[in-house]
């Protein structure tokens, strides 16, 4: 979505706060929201603006934060050794900003923010020739946010933090999002004048507003149409809340594309999932990571599909679990099936209840319908694998391969001791233990224990 291009813009992302209220060993901005960290959500939107550069300000756990995103985004790492406030954090990034005309400052804990909203701020900032523009929002519950104070003419005068606000100011319901766009030279000149004479003894970024006005600069608040986009995450409850709101956005987006989602409050669909038209996702299902499900599929109830590729007209029945699997068109999976990494199912394959497939290719229209384990196997087309069949692929040290030809019929409860090959069209009798090559066509079966009949045998009776 690179429809923007702001080559004279440097972005500074603030991520140095400890996030103590999360009570977590993981830095706050790396917490997951529908398959992506909060920081990754923010960076994806910023990258869509095509800025000159992105500077990421980090503090404690900075290396971990940087390592999590450096391969995905072009960011430069700025360290803020001590967290002395948002203004101080921006100051640390000065050297990264010197060649830019404008600086956009974004907090890393606002995963609902959308690229279009940032672009609107930048457009307004440039068109109105403002020196400082920031996104504000009208919210019903402004507690905790900086309040936007305006004079009688409605002109912005300052942003007052909750802890510094008087009773009247606390009643104001227009709040600052913390997202600013500022002319570069002015920004760093004003930051030098910011002091920490406030309740938290911090150098606040919003303190540049009154300083700018004193110098006759132009400051504009740009009201966000959707106040939810500015919601910040400081604790687990807020994390859940933004996750729910984002999930609703994702689900409504898929509904517009022709996907039905039953009991949506019970369903999880990550942001990177792709779904086809006329597909139905039933209650309790989870579609995770880079999963793609084609047209006219039925998923669930209670199916989990992770990092998998599902073609058109597939049914994934209740309680099935797929991870890094590929399912061909018209396949029928489950209920209670497990497809593990590198399960490659061709068109029309049927995998039934309590069947596990790992690192195996299952050819077109083959069926493994009941209680089986198939691992490290290449199976041809039109095979029928009976109930309870096991590929014994592991000798305790190494994994071995099983190869099954087209049209093979494997009787129930067969053990295929790998490495082993079953020829095309072979039939294996039920209960066989197969250790050698199975010739094509014909019947192969291992010796069976003699069946005995004890005529006068009596069942024991309860004493
Ligand atoms: C901040 C704003 C407030 C705004 C709100 C919106 C200030 C002083 N207050 O408050 O006006 O309404 O965001 O969510 O700017 N950070 C650093 N270094 C620091 C301090 C903070 O990098 O020294 C980072 C944090 O990691 C976070 C962001 O800056 O990503 C905002 O800090 P936070 O403590 O969450 O500020 P709020 O109290 O939410
Ligand atoms: Mg915050």
Beta bridge partners of residue 36, listed in sequence order: 33
Q: What is the pLDDT of residue 206?
A: 98
Q: What is the mean pLDDT of the chain?
A: 97
CA angle 377, 379, 383 (to 5 degrees): 140
For atom 13 of ligand 1, which residue has the closest CA? 178
Stretch 130-147: mean pLDDT: 96
Taking 70 as the threshold, does the pLDDT of residue 2 lie above it? Answer: no
pLDDT, average across residues 200-216: 97
369 contacts 350 by C-beta, under 8 angstroms: yes
Phi-psi region of 155 (alpha: psi -120 to 50; beta: other; left: phi over 0): beta
What is the rounded average pLDDT of the residues 441-449?
95
Query: From the alpha carbon of 145, which atom of ligand 1 is closest?
Result: 12
Q: Whole-angstrom Cα distance, residue 60 to residue 293? A: 40
pTM of the model: 0.93
Q: How far is CA 338 from CA 118, 123, 160, 343, in A?
A: 43, 50, 55, 10
| Residues noted as catalytic | 370
Compute, in angstroms, the gap from residue 233 CA to the centroid of ligand 2.
6
Nearest to 75 by CA among 14, 156, 4: 14
Atom number of ligand 1 nearest to Cα 232: 14
**CA-closest residue to ligand 1 atom 34:** 17
> Could you tell me which residues come within 8 angstroms of residue 108 by beta carbon, excluding any fewer than 6 positions away?
13, 14, 15, 29, 38, 39, 42, 56
Q: Residue 226: how many CA atoms within 13 Å on its side-chain side?
A: 12
Give the integer Cα–Cα distance in Å for 183 and 104: 9
Which ligand gives the minimal distance to the CA of 29?
Answer: 1
For the cut 60, the answer to whether the pLDDT of residue 217 exceeds it is yes
CA gap 102, 280 in Å, rounded: 46
The closest residue, in CA terms, to atom 11 on ligand 1 is 146
The band of 1, judged by pLDDT with boundaries at 50, 70 and 90, is low
Distance CA 387, CA 369 (A): 7
Radius of gyration of the chain (CA): 31
Q: Residue 61: is its pLDDT beyond 90?
A: no
- Whole-number pLDDT of residue 430: 98
Domains of the chain: 6-230 (3.90.550.10), 236-444 (2.160.10.10)
- Distance, in Å, from the CA atom of 19 to the CA atom of 47, rounded to the nearest integer, reads 24
Ligand nearest to the CA of 83: 1
Atom of ligand 1 nearest to the CA of 82: 23
Instruction: Count CB-CB contacts under 10 A for residue 375.
Output: 22
Ligand 1 centroid to 452 CA: how many Å? 81
CA-to-CA distance for 364 and 334, rounded, in angstroms?
A: 17
Kindly give the distance from the C-alpha atom of residue 17 to the centroid of ligand 1, in angstroms, as a whole number: 8
pLDDT of residue 3: 75
Cα(73) to centroid(ligand 1), Å: 23
Cα distance from N-terminal residue to C-terminal residue, the chain:
79
Contacts of 69 (CB under 8 A, 6+ apart): 37, 39, 40, 43, 56, 75
Cα 248 to ligand 2 centre (Å) = 22
What pLDDT score was predicted for residue 60? 76
CA distance 203 to 80: 13
**Closest ligand 1 atom to 89 CA:** 18
- In a mutational test of the pocket of ligand 1, which residue from 79, 178, 233, 239 has the highest number of ligand atoms less than 8 Å from its CB? 178
Is the pLDDT at 199 greater than 60? The verdict is: yes
Within 8 A by CB and 6+ apart from 92, the residues are 57, 78, 79, 80
Residue of minimum CA distance from atom 29 in ligand 1 = 14
Question: Are the beta carbons of 290 and 307 closer than 8 angstroms?
Answer: yes
Comparing 60 with 454, the larger pLDDT belongs to 454
Which residue's CA lies nearest to atom 25 of ligand 1? 17
Q: Which of 232, 234, 238 to mutate to test the pocket of ligand 1 (most atoms within 8 A of CB)?
A: 232
Digit-coded pLDDT (tens) for 95-124 = 999 999 999 999 999 999 999 999 999 999
Q: How sure is the predictor about 283, in pLDDT bands with cuts at 50, 70 and 90?
A: very high
Phi, psi at residue 77, to the nearest 5°? -90, 125
DSSP E strand boundaries for 199-314: 219-223, 260-261, 268-269, 274-275, 280-281, 286-288, 292-293, 298-299, 304-306, 309-310
Q: Which two tokens stand for residue 155?
A: 């002109």
- % of the chain exceeding 90 in pLDDT: 97
DSSP state of 173: -
Residue with tokens 């529908």: 34
Tell me which residue has its CA closest to atom 8 in ligand 1: 204
Measured in Å, residue 168 CA sits from the centre of ligand 2 at 22
Ligand 1 site-directed mutation target among 86, 108, 161, most atoms within 8 Å of CB: 86
Ligand 1 neighbours (beta carbon < 6 A): 14-17, 57, 80, 83-86, 88-89, 107-109, 145-146, 159, 161, 175-178, 204-206, 232
CA dist 75 to 37, 53, 214, Å? Answer: 15, 7, 34
Ligand nearest to the CA of 106: 1
Q: Ligand 1 centroid to 34 CA: how many Å?
A: 23
**Atom 10 of ligand 1: nearest residue by CA position:** 145
For the segment 26-58, what is each residue's pLDDT rounded down to a tens digit? 999 999 999 999 999 999 999 999 999 999 999
- pLDDT given at position 188: 98
Please write the tens of the pLDDT for every residue from 384-434: 999 999 999 999 999 999 999 999 999 999 999 999 999 999 999 999 999
**What H or E segment, with its residue span, contains residue 192?**
none
């Amino acid at each position: 979505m690179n429809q923007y291009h702001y080559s004279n813009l440097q972005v500074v992302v603030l991520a140095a706060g400890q996030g103590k209220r999360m009570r977590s060993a993981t830095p706050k901005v790396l917490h997951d929201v529908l398959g992506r960290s909060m920081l990754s959500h923010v960076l994806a939107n910023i990258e869509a603006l095509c800025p000159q550069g992105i500077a990421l300000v980090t503090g404690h756990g900075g290396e971990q934060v940087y390592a999590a995103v450096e391969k995905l985004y072009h960011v430069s790492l700025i360290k803020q050794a001590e967290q002395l406030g948002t203004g101080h954090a921006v100051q640390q990034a000065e050297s990264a900003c010197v060649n830019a005309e404008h600086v956009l400052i974004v907090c890393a804990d606002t995963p609902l923010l959308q690229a279009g909203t940032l672009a609107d701020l930048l457009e307004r900032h440039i068109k109105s020739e403002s020196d400082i523009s920031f996104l504000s929002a009208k919210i019903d519950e402004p507690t905790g946010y900086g309040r936007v104070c305006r004079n009688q003419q409605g002109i912005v005068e300052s942003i007052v933090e909750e802890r510094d606000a008087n009773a009247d100011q606390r009643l104001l319901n227009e709040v600052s999002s913390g997202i600013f766009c500022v002319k570069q030279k002015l920004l760093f000149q004003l930051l030098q004048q910011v002091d920490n004479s406030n309740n938290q003894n911090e150098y606040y970024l919003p303190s540049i507003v009154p300083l700018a006005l004193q110098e006759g600069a132009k400051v504009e608040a740009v009201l966000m149409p959707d106040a939810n986009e500015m919601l910040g995450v400081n604790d687990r409850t807020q994390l859940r809340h933004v996750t729910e709101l984002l999930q609703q956005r994702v689900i409504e987006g898929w509904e517009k594309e022709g996907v039905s989602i039953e009991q949506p409050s019970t369903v999880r669909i990550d942001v990177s999932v792709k779904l086809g038209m006329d597909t139905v996702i039933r209650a309790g299902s989870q579609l995770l990571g880079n999963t793609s499900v084609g047209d006219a599929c039925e998923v669930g109830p209670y199916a989990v599909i992770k990092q998998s590729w599902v073609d058109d007209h597939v049914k994934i029945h209740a309680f099935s679990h797929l991870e890094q699997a590929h399912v061909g068109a018209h396949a029928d999976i489950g209920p209670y099936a497990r497809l593990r990494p590198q399960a490659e199912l061709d068109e029309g394959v049927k995998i039934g209840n309590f069947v596990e497939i790992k690192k195996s290719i299952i050819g077109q229209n083959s069926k493994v319908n009941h209680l089986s384990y198939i691992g490290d196997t290449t199976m041809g087309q039109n095979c029928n694998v009976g109930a309870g069949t096991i590929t014994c692929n592991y000798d305790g040290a190494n994994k071995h391969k099983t190869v099954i030809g087209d049209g093979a019929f494997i009787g129930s409860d067969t053990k295929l001791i790998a490495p082993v090959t079953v020829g095309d069209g072979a039939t294996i009798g039920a209960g066989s233990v197969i250790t050698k090559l199975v010739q094509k066509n014909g019947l192969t079966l291992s010796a069976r224990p003699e069946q005995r009949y004890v005529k006068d045998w009596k069942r024991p009776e309860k004493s």
